């Protein structure tokens, strides 16, 4: 009950009261006003200003312009509207599932409309991506993002993007495309602000997006390069070298993979200008301490900033091996699976462009897809593109480093980093000739990263979108530097090809898989000539494939990285090769089936050896049941399989049983998980071909063989699984222990999809490593040029708005392994439920 002035004074009849009562009464109105003022001020303050993690509540929950508008934004209807900057009318069709079809009468309008459509459905995602690369996340989320911002500004995506933009001639088509695209994005920002349709996250975080610029698009491209390609492996290798010793480190982490893999480029190779590779040597204490400090810093960064391995598939089948008579192409790049997805599906038609596929919001091109003549997809090539240099400094040359015999002053770039809810931070980034200094703890370490070499990748992609032949496709890729990708190709004439385009840095001398002295002798001196990089065209077997495996055989004359930096162990590639190489012809449905293949190649090698090692053992009932299930298993990681669960855990137990004693006795500071794949390749080969390897006889373990370790691991595993999953072995289904989650990009757990039981593992073509698995096939595409059919799917939906029906509408189809037809704009115009936008100048 509120006490008001009226209740105290005004409404009462005039009566004589005692003087004491009068004094109290005379104070009541003032106290009431004071209370009302304080409470009003508190309410208004909370309504007008952010308090702690809360946004300003008034604008945030304003029923008309606040977060509730996401309901209206989720409605997509037929529209006719003006768009500033258009030269001619543009037509946009939106299929029932949100797939966009843009038809423009000029190339300029096509890119402008693409910018508008991207921003209409993905503006917050685009803003987050540019902020991440430009070191501006703290400005909206506060000091929690300060480490990430500092790192990004040191690494230099923004500097590289600015250099790329400045290097683009005004008459370059990429220049025009980026400008038009930015205008389209800004048209949408202006429209959204005027119609109060900005994504709810802007409202809740309490900021307005600043205008989009071409540099923002180049930064978004840089984000992807970093995610796929910036590695800390040399630091890891330095610590392993120091703790395990040079001999064990070189034996366990060799340059060439120890296991049998399936390279696609079998040679012969030309042999030009070889760079010498030094024999392994021991890392010094100072080098190790410096690497350790830097690694600690990198490990503390948010996931996704450092490339931790890759997993993608693509392959092609020549017309001669295809049941339709035309070339087949399949591609499924594996990335962090997010909501919204990294991809936006569209077709882009203008006088010179007819491309269909997926684009990255923030960039104006189709990255993976097809045009009227060719189809292409890509996987990460995994070669080493990150090199660390330890600069030589001394106290008599402050602010300088020794390079090629002379002392040089570091170049310095200064940044102000705005922080929400705190003071702006200042950051001075030092640059040596090698690149940015990213650590000054211990020895000063700078990094040479191919992603910092300005490159005109956008122009390359525009050329690819217009290519009509392998020659044009390959020529376009001459300008592609980073990240190195395996570009697979198939065309309407039945041709197939694969080329691992990008920079393959070569050092003058030294051990590039470790941090190197920055004194000049170990610098990058060039890259492998384009004609010598891994590639193949119309191979005799009529099949070609990549799955992040090393692309070439041991005879390849150039250094491209070590087995642990970070080529895939090759199990997916081996399985894909196995299926594609079987006799008979292949169809588009075979491609689709292979994309969702759950056969674990490593299991197919190891499980028979395990079973043999147990054949004469006395087993308890549970162990015997597990053995029986493994005996009948087809090595497929399906959700209902108990054997899959046993294998899934067994491999980890076996690795731990073998290597953990070494890790303990040598006090290795690198987690085994960091080098799991590399150790796995060793263990695979020792189990199959070298069961007496000294690795099984770790210090304190005594002499033993692979068989001893297999048996001990198996018995321990079964005992542990009984404790973890219960005594009923039949209930140990794989779906119970292996789940997949699609994570909300803004890290809002309640907007995730899953966790949901799912099949596959890190070794299967249907990639699903980790627990819960958060990475996997981010896009699946199957092209059959014989029947001219194009199919695809990606997990997610076209809209970032969680209130939209297009937020997760593709997920179930993707989960089931099905594909949707990729319609052309003409086909879409007659499809049911299509919505049309007419944009006018």
Partner 1 sequence: MRLYLFLLVAGIVAIAGVLVGLWWAPFVVGLALGIVVRRGRIGVPIGAAIGLLAWLAPLAIAHESHGLGLTATSLAAIMGFDHQPAVPLALTLLLGTLLGLTGAWLGASSRGVVTSVRSGT
Instruction: Give residues in contact with partner 1 (CB under 8 A).
Output: 2, 4-11, 22, 25-26, 29-30, 32-33, 35-37, 39-40, 43-44, 47, 57-59, 61-68, 70-72, 74-75, 196, 200-201, 204, 748-751, 802-804
For residue 315, the cross-strand partners are 330, 545
CA dist 153 and 149 (Å) reads 6
CA dist 215 and 509 (Å) reads 36
CA dist 324 and 336 (Å) reads 34
**Would you give the distance in Å from CA 564 to the centre of its chain?**
19
CA dist 339 and 773 (Å) reads 14
* Nearest CB to partner 1, comparing residues 22 and 478: 22
* Nearest CB to partner 1, comparing residues 194 and 396: 194
* Nearest CB to partner 1, comparing residues 206 and 520: 206
Residue 624 neighbours by CB distance under 10 Å: 15
Q: Could you tell me whether strands 496-501 and 505-507 are parallel, antiparallel, or unpaired per DSSP bridges?
A: unpaired
Token digits of residue 371? 């045009």
Q: In whole angstroms, how close is the CB of 144 to partner 1 at the nearest point?
A: 16
* Nearest CB to partner 1, comparing residues 17 and 719: 17
* Nearest CB to partner 1, comparing residues 170 and 749: 749
Q: Are 105 and 89 in contact (CB under 8 A)?
A: yes
* Nearest CB to partner 1, comparing residues 452 and 752: 752
Q: Are 185 and 115 in contact (CB under 8 A)?
A: yes
Q: In whole angstroms, how close is the CB of 803 to partner 1 at the nearest point?
A: 4
Q: Which of 468, 528, 17 is nearest to 270 (CA)?
A: 528
User: What DSSP element (H or E) covers 408?
Assistant: strand 406-409
* Nearest CB to partner 1, comparing residues 390 and 741: 741
Q: In whole angstroms, how close is the CB of 674 to partner 1 at the nearest point?
A: 33
* Nearest CB to partner 1, comparing residues 200 and 311: 200
Q: In whole angstroms, how close is the CB of 67 to partner 1 at the nearest point?
A: 6
Q: Are 552 and 536 in contact (CB under 8 A)?
A: no
Q: In whole angstroms, how close is the CB of 36 to partner 1 at the nearest point?
A: 4
* Nearest CB to partner 1, comparing residues 246 and 751: 751
* Nearest CB to partner 1, comparing residues 163 and 751: 751
User: What DSSP element (H or E) covers 81?
Assistant: strand 79-82
* Nearest CB to partner 1, comparing residues 61 and 537: 61
Q: In whole angstroms, how close is the CB of 743 to partner 1 at the nearest point?
A: 13
Q: What is the residue whose two structure tokens read 């070189």?
A: 250
Q: In whole angstroms, how close is the CB of 833 to partner 1 at the nearest point?
A: 18
Give the E-state strand segments of 302-366 in sequence order: 313-317, 328-332, 334-336, 338-339, 344-349, 354-359
Q: What is the residue whose two structure tokens read 């981010």?
A: 778
* Nearest CB to partner 1, comparing residues 433 and 803: 803
Q: What crossing angle do the helices spanning 157-167 and 107-134 adopt, rounded to 10°?
A: 150
Q: In whole angstroms, how close is the CB of 796 to partner 1 at the nearest point?
A: 15
Q: In whole angstroms, how close is the CB of 75 to partner 1 at the nearest point?
A: 6
Q: Are 545 and 262 in contact (CB under 8 A)?
A: yes
Helix (H, G, I), strand (E, B) or coil at 107: helix
Q: In whole angstroms, how close is the CB of 39 to partner 1 at the nearest point?
A: 6
Q: In whole angstroms, how close is the CB of 338 to partner 1 at the nearest point?
A: 15
Token digits of residue 286? 């100072």
Q: In whole angstroms, how close is the CB of 745 to partner 1 at the nearest point?
A: 12
CA dist 527 and 275 (Å) reads 10
Q: How far is CA 609 from CA 606, 621, 637, 650, in A?
A: 5, 21, 19, 13
Q: In whole angstroms, how close is the CB of 64 to partner 1 at the nearest point?
A: 5
Token digits of residue 68? 């509730």
* Nearest CB to partner 1, comparing residues 72 and 300: 72
Q: Are 741 and 780 in contact (CB under 8 A)?
A: no
CA angle 502, 508, 510 (to 5 degrees): 105
Q: What is the residue whose two structure tokens read 């989320």?
A: 141
In the chain, the N- to C-terminal Cα span, in Å, equals 60
CA dist 17 and 23 (Å) reads 10
């Amino acid at each position: 009950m509120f006490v008001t002035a009226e209740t105290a004074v005004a409404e009462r009849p005039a009566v004589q009261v005692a003087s004491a009562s009068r004094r109290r009464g005379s104070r009541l109105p003032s106290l009431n006003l004071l209370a009302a003022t304080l409470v009003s001020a508190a309410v208004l303050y909370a309504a007008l200003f952010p308090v702690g993690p809360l946004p300003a509540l008034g604008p945030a929950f304003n029923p008309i312009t606040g977060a509730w508008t996401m309901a209206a934004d989720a409605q997509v209807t037929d529209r006719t509207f003006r768009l500033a900057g258009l030269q001619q009318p543009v037509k946009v069709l939106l299929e029932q599932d949100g797939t966009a079809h843009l038809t423009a009468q000029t190339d300029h309008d096509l890119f402008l409309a693409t910018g508008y459509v991207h921003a209409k459905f993905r503006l917050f995602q685009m803003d987050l991506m540019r902020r991440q690369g430009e070191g501006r996340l703290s400005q909206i989320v506060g000091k929690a993002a300060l480490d990430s911002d500092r790192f990004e500004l040191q690494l230099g995506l923004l500097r590289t993007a600015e250099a790329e933009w400045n290097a683009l001639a005004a008459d370059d088509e990429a220049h025009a495309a980026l400008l038009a695209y930015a205008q389209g994005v800004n048209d949408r920002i202006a429209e959204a602000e005027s119609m109060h349709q900005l994504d709810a996250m802007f409202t809740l975080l309490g900021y307005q997006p600043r205008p989009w610029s071409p540099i923002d698009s180049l930064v978004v491209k840089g984000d992807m390069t970093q995610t796929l390609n910036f590695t800390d492996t040399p630091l890891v290798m330095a610590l392993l070298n120091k703790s395990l010793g040079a001999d064990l480190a070189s034996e366990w982490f060799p340059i060439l993979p120890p296991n049998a893999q399936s390279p696609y480029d079998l040679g012969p190779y030309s042999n030009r200008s070889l760079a010498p590779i030094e024999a392994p040597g021991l890392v010094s204490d100072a080098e190790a301490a410096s690497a350790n400090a830097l690694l600690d810093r990198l490990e503390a960064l948010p996931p996704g900033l450092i490339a931790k391995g890759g997993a993608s598939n693509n392959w092609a089948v020549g017309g001669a091996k295809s049941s339709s008579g035309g070339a087949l192409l399949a591609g499924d790049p594996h990335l962090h699976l997010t909501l919204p997805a990294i991809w936006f599906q569209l077709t882009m038609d203008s006088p010179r462009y007819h491309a269909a596929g997926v684009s990255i919001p923030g960039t104006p091109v189709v990255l993976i897809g097809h045009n009227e003549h060719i189809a292409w997809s890509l996987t990460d090539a995994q070669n080493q593109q990150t090199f660390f240099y330890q600069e030589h400094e001394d106290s008599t040359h402050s602010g300088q480093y020794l390079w090629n015999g002379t002392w040089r002053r570091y170049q310095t770039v200064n940044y102000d980093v705005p922080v929400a809810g705190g003071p702006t931070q200042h950051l001075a980034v030092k640059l040596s000739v090698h690149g940015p200094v990213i650590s000054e703890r211990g020895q000063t370490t700078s990094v040479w990263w191919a992603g910092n070499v300005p490159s005109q990748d956008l122009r390359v992609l525009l050329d690819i979108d217009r290519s009509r032949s392998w020659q044009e496709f390959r020529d376009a890729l001459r300008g592609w530097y980073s990240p190195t990708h395996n570009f697979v190709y198939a065309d309407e004439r039945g041709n197939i090809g694969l080329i691992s385009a990008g920079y393959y840095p070569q050092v003058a001398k030294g051990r590039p898989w470790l941090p190197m002295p920055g004194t000049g002798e170990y610098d990058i001196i060039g890259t492998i000539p384009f004609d010598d990089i891994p590639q193949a065209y119309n191979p005799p077997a009529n099949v070609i494939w990549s799955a992040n495996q090393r692309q070439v055989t041991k005879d390849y004359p150039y250094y491209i990285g070590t087995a642990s930096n970070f080529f895939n162990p090759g199990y997916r590639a081996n399985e894909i090769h196995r299926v594609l190489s079987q006799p008979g012809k292949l169809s588009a449905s075979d491609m689709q089936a292979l994309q969702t293949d759950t056969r674990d190649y490593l299991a197919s090698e190891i499980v028979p050896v395990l079973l043999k090692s147990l054949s004469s053992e006395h087993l308890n009932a549970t162990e015997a049941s597990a053995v029986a299930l493994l005996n009948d298993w087809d090595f497929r990681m399906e959700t209902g399989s108990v054997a899959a669960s046993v294998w899934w855990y067994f491999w980890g137990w076996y690795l731990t049983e073998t290597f953990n004693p070494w890790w303990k006795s040598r006090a290795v500071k690198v987690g085994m998980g960091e080098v799991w794949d590399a150790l796995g390749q060793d263990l695979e080969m020792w189990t199959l071909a070298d069961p007496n390897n000294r690795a099984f006889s770790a210090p304190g373990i005594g002499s033993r063989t692979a068989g001893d370790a297999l048996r001990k691991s198996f018995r321990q595993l079964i005992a542990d699984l009984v404790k973890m999953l219960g005594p009923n072995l039949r209930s140990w289904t794989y779906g119970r222990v292996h789940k997949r989650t699609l994570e909300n990009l803004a890290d809002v757990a309640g907007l995730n999809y899953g966790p949901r039981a799912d099949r596959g593992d890190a070794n299967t073509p249907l990639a699903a490593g980790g627990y819960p698995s958060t990475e996997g096939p981010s896009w699946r595409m199957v092209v059959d040029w014989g029947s001219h059919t194009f199919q695809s799917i990606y997990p997610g939906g076209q809209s970032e708005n969680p209130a939209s029906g297009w937020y997760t509408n593709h997920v179930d189809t993707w989960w089931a392994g099905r594909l949707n037809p990729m319609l052309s704009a003409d086909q879409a115009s007659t499809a049911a439920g299509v919505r049309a936008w007419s944009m006018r100048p």
